[in-house]
Amino acid sequence: MTQVFLKKKEVPIDEQMVTITQLSGLDRLNYMDYCAEIPEPESPNKPPEGATQEEQERYLLELKKYSNAWFRLNFMAQARLVAYGYPGDSDNIDERHQQIMSIMSPPQVEALYREIALFSGLSIPGQEETAPSDNSETTTTTETATTEETTTQEPTDPKV
């Protein structure tokens, strides 16, 4: 029998305790490969200064589609990491990934993504550690951000 070195811990997600596992070295590499293969959404071209109202409205519509594409890409990438760190009923990572995306809301996926990434020693976008003066645990600026602050930010590229 092989000894398992990966740690497990329980984290609260919407008043439920969920057991997560650290990513193995292979899972981490596979996750990075997955993210590297995701095509980036195509950015819309900004209309020239003298553009008609119709051209400007079309640009705004394309910009909204672009933003939604980034949201989708970010959700899919975060759900993939969750699938690695939250083993379910299947040994197939693609099946677990699909299951995570269909049974969890985006905020639940994001919360588990952050927990698993930090537990596995991965840096996450927007993570800036601050050292408190009272020698208590460190916090990240993303943990203290308000909902309004996080919903008005630009989409984050999970490949970074």
- The pLDDT tens digits for 28-41 are 999 999 999 999 99
- Position 115 in a domain: yes
- Position 159 in a domain: no
18: which DSSP letter? E
pLDDT confidence of residue 160: 52
pLDDT confidence of residue 90: 84
pLDDT confidence of residue 124: 85
Q: 122 is in which domain, residue-wise?
A: 8-151
Q: Given CA atoms 117, 118, 120, 124 in this order, what sign does their dihedral have?
A: positive
pLDDT confidence of residue 126: 75
At CB < 8 A and 24+ separation, what contacts does 63-70 make? 66/41, 66/42, 67/155, 69/41, 70/41, 70/155, 70/156, 70/157
- Position 157 in a domain: no
- Position 160 in a domain: no
pLDDT, tens digit, 9 for 90 and up, residues 59-82 = 999 999 999 999 999 999 999 999
| pTM score | 0.73
- Position 40 in a domain: yes
Number of domains in the chain: 1
- Position 2 in a domain: no
